[in-house]
């Protein structure tokens, strides 16, 4: 027989759920914890005997649904049973994966032209835990194999392709195959491409990372990251790291990603089409000395990109002839495009890596990797492409 409660307690405890039909859109589960009907249910869930949610740092229906959707997109057509986790940012996705899988004395093999934040994480933070970073030209497979065969501390191969901001493409299939030969985990940052353009799991990679802040959300109103894989042992290790580090995504940001994913296919096609047209314009401009975009037939990465990408994406970079002062002046002359330190939004975003995203990377390494003072990165948006081109044409003049 149910006990009778007071009106005052009803204010606190009353929980009337009137919904009887399935919601058309994913609900936002804005709750920190979940109730148990009996203590036995709690024990079964905590011990893993049955599935269920207990605490939103461990898992949340909104967050888990979106994470699995991204995993399904990455694994589409591969036959792999992929899993996914959402984190609080793209950087936390990298951090969680590294700290979950590595220990003191281990090493990461990667490239020099990484996103500046990733480079700083490896060099300035992870090195303090005696997790070392080895930088090599990942397009030189002999050099990669030499490192694998002589440095047995290497546990993770970390790949960014296309690289940020040089747009260098790497052979994901060949690198992943080589990593497997030596029992090394291969991980690919797929933020620039999304699974609609490139599927690293299908190319042999073990783990795929995203800053969902970028194209997966696509609207500049959510910050989160994603980790996707298919190996169950890695899943357990990463989940343990995620829930204990506490870098979990919240249900609101997950829901915003969910909405963004609905238009992902349409957006990536338009981003790519506009980027190709802008790249062709810039390549023909007398004040532009180099355009980095694999869609151009003049790009040294064109054939590789055709092999592992469905189309060429919305990111490009270019170098201007002249001094840094001239480059910054050109950027200031832009009227239609937006200066902002992000990418993947619906509008065109312009960034000068040497004074922003890669400011804290040594100039010597920047120059060596092609991240010059004259390099400008462009995240090409969905606007009418003639307007984008006219803005750059005016600014370059």
Write the DSSP symbol of residue 127: G
DSSP lists the bridge partners of residue 211 as 225
User: Residues 59, 63, 64, 70: is their CA dihedral positive or negative?
Assistant: negative
115 catalytic, yes or no? Answer: yes
183: left (phi over 0), alpha (psi -120 to 50) or beta: left
69 catalytic, yes or no? Answer: no
Candidates 29, 99, 115, 215; catalytic one: 115
Angle formed at CA 142 by CA 140 and CA 144, multiple of 5 degrees: 70
Candidates 57, 177, 235, 310; catalytic one: 57
What is the rounded CA–CA span in Å between residue 99 and residue 241?
7
72 catalytic, yes or no? Answer: no
Interior/surface letters 357-383, b for 16+ CB within 10 angstroms, e for the rest: bbeebeeeebeebbbbbbbbbbbbbbb
What is the rounded CA–CA span in Å between residue 109 and residue 177?
15
15 catalytic, yes or no? Answer: no
Candidates 214, 267, 366, 377; catalytic one: 214
Q: Give the pair of three-digit tokens for residue 258.
A: 């969910």
What is the rounded CA–CA span in Å between residue 259 and residue 251?
12
Candidates 64, 171, 189, 253; catalytic one: 189
Cα torsion at 300, 306, 307, 313 (round to 10°)?
100
> CB neighbours of 364 closer than 8 A, spacing ≥ 6?
none
| Cβ contact 182:149 at 8 Å | yes
Report the catalytic residues: 57, 115, 189, 214
């Amino acid at each position: 027989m149910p006990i009778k409660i007071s009106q005052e307690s009803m204010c606190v405890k009353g929980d009337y759920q009137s919904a009887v039909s399935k919601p058309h859109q994913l609900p936002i589960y804005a709750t920190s914890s979940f109730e148990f009907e009996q203590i036995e249910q709690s024990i079964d869930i905590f011990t893993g005997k049955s599935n269920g949610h207990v605490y939103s740092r461990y898992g949340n229906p909104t967050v888990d649904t979106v994470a699995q959707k991204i995993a399904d997109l990455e694994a589409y057509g591969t036959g792999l049973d992929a899993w996914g986790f959402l984190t609080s940012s793209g950087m936390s996705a990298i951090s969680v994966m590294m700290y979950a899988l590595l220990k003191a004395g281990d090493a990461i093999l990667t490239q020099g032209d990484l996103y500046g934040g990733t480079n700083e994480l490896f060099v300035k933070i992870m090195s303090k835990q005696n997790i070392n970073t080895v930088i090599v030209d990942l397009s030189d497979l002999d050099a990669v194999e030499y490192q694998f065969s002589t440095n047995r501390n290497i546990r993770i191969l970390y790949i960014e392709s296309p690289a940020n901001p040089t747009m260098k493409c790497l052979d994901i299939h060949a690198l992943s195959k080589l990593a497997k030969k030596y029992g090394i985990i291969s991980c690919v940052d797929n933020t620039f491409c999304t699974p609609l353009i490139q599927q690293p799991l299908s190319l042999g990679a073990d783990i795929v990372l995203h800053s969902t802040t970028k194209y997966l959300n696509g609207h500049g109103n959510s910050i989160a990251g994603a980790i996707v894989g298919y190996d169950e042992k890695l899943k357990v290790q990463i989940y343990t790291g995620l829930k204990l580090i506490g870098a979990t995504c919240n249900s609101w940001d997950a829901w915003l990603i969910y909405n963004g994913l609905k238009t992902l296919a349409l957006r990536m096609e338009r981003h790519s089409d506009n980027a190709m047209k802008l790249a062709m314009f810039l390549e023909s401009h007398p004040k532009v000395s180099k355009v980095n975009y694999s869609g151009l037939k003049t790009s040294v990465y064109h054939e590789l990109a055709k092999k592992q990408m469905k189309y060429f994406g919305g990111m490009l970079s270019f170098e201007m002839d002249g001094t840094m002062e001239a480059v910054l002046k050109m950027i200031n002359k832009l009227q239609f495009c937006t200066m902002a330190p992000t990418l993947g939004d619906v509008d065109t975003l312009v960034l000068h890596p040497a004074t922003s995203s890669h400011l804290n990377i040594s100039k010597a390494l920047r120059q060596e990797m092609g991240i010059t003072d004259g390099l400008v990165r462009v995240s090409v948006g969905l606007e009418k492409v003639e307007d984008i081109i006219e803005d750059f044409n005016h600014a370059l003049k």
